[in-house]
């Protein structure tokens, strides 16, 4: 019996090790590429450990010089921050009250939520033409805030569904007690339900941030200047041309990955609670 337990434990740890390597290896290789010289990256056979640590790619991307890679990259970083956090703010403001209505007053109106989830499943290219024409008519092309509204069409259906599932787990008796005490709608929402929803709100915020931060297709179609172009498009542009600078591309990937990774680590407990709370009915 002990031998079987020991064998299963060994297999368990082996599986964990394989999974960790599978997840972290690409990112670790990206970091190695970012600090490798062009000579190391072009050597055959490939050198997995750089002979000399080279931070010139970081200096080039983080230097604000006119008509340089650093200029477009730093503008892209600024635009990604503005677009992503605007998307997060709009998603939270609108999905929380909408999810509360869907949860507390179920019925035929929940068909709207189901239809929204169906639209979430469709590929973004299906909406490209109508969204482009709408933005062009309104004069909102190449605008970070307009791009954030477009991203909301991607993230809000899933965020509303996830928030509703978490509100379902909160006993309605808590709100009934507040109603007996004379509490109004806003008091019930923001003093009773909202504090209990903080893990789910954190999850919604993190998912909205990740989806908008990494989105490439819409950003490529609807932006074309430093006023609104985002990091995924900037990094893709680094690969254009006759000869790609792989160290520069890797450096852009490392810098672009850092903010969501750090925020994800800070909010990981909230993420787990938000994803699991909806499965426990109060």
**Could you give the number of structural domains in the chain?**
1
Question: pLDDT tens digit string along 202-257?
Answer: 888 888 898 899 999 999 999 989 999 999 999 998 887 666 788 889 999 999 99
Residue 232 token pair: 């995924």
Most confident segment among 21-30, 82-91, 107-116, 190-199: 82-91
User: DSSP secondary-structure letter at 236?
Assistant: H
pLDDT at 117 over 60: yes
Q: Which of 13-17, 42-46, 59-63 has the weakest average pLDDT?
A: 42-46
Q: Is residue 44 part of a domain?
A: no
What pLDDT shows up at residue 280?
Answer: 46
Q: Is residue 116 part of a domain?
A: yes
Q: Model's pTM, two decimal places?
A: 0.84
For 139, the domain range is 68-277
Q: Is residue 253 part of a domain?
A: yes
Alpha helices (H) along the chain: 2-34, 38-42, 56-61, 69-104, 110-121, 125-138, 144-168, 173-180, 185-187, 194-196, 198-214, 217-222, 231-238, 246-266, 268-277
Q: Is residue 97 part of a domain?
A: yes
What pLDDT shows up at residue 251?
Answer: 93
Q: Is residue 58 part of a domain?
A: no
What pLDDT shows up at residue 110?
Answer: 73
Q: How many other β-carbons are positioned within 10 Å of the β-carbon of residue 180?
A: 8
Angle, helix 246-266 to helix 231-238, in steps of 10 degrees: 160
Q: How many other β-carbons are positioned within 10 Å of the β-carbon of residue 226?
A: 15
Q: Is residue 41 part of a domain?
A: no
Q: Which residues of 49-69 are buried (b: 16+ CB within 10 A; e: fewer)?
A: ebeeebeebbebbeeeeeeeb
Residues 128-154, mean pLDDT to the nearest whole number = 92
What pLDDT shows up at residue 125?
Answer: 87
Question: pLDDT tens digit string along 180-216?
Answer: 888 888 888 888 888 888 888 888 888 889 889 999 9
Cα→Cα distances 115→32, 88, 155, 231, 280, Å = 45, 22, 14, 31, 25
Residues 22-42, mean pLDDT to the nearest whole number = 86
Does the CA dihedral 67-71-29-216 come out positive or negative? negative
Q: Is residue 135 part of a domain?
A: yes
| pLDDT band (50, 70, 90) for residue 276 | low
Q: Is residue 18 part of a domain?
A: no
> Considering only CA atoms, which of 54, 79, 18 is closest in space to residue 250?
54
pLDDT at 104 over 60: yes
> Considering only CA atoms, which of 260, 91, 265, 86 is closest in space to residue 161?
91
Cα→Cα distances 181→157, 195, 227, Å = 34, 19, 52
CATH code of the domain covering residue 168: 1.10.3720.10
Q: In sequence order, what are the residues at sequence separation of 6 or more whose Cβ sits closer than 8 angstroms to the Cβ of residue 30?
A: 250, 253, 254, 257
Residues 140-155, mean pLDDT to the nearest whole number = 92
């Amino acid at each position: 019996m002990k031998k079987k337990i020991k064998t299963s434990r060994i297999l368990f740890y082996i599986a964990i090790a394989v999974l960790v390597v599978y997840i972290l290896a690409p990112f670790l290789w990206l970091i190695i590429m970012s600090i490798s010289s062009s000579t190391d990256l072009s050597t055959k056979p490939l050198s997995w450990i750089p002979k000399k640590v080279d931070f010139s790619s970081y200096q080039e991307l983080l230097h604000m010089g006119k008509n340089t890679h650093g200029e477009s990259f730093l503008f892209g970083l600024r635009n990604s921050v503005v677009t992503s956090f605007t998307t997060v703010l709009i998603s939270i403001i609108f999905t929380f009250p909408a999810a509360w209505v869907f949860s507390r007053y179920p019925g035929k109106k929940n068909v709207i939520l189901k239809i929204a989830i169906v639209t979430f499943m469709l590929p973004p290219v299906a909406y490209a033409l109508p969204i482009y024409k709408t933005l062009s008519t309104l004069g909102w092309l190449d605008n970070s805030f307009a791009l954030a509204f477009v991203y909301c069409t991607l993230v809000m259906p899933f965020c509303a569904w996830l928030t509703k599932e978490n509100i379902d787990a909160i006993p309605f008796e808590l709100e009934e007690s507040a109603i007996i005490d004379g509490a109004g709608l806003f008091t019930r929402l923001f003093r009773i339900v909202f504090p209990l929803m903080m893990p789910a709100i954190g999850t919604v915020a993190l998912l909205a941030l990740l989806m908008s931060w990494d989105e490439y297709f819409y950003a490529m179609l609807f932006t074309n200047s430093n006023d609104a172009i985002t990091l995924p498009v900037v990094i893709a542009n680094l690969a254009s041309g006759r000869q790609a600078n792989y160290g520069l591309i890797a450096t852009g990937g490392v810098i672009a990955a850092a903010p969501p990774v750090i925020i994800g680590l800070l909010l990981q407990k909230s993420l787990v609670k938000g994803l699991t709370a909806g499965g426990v009915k109060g």
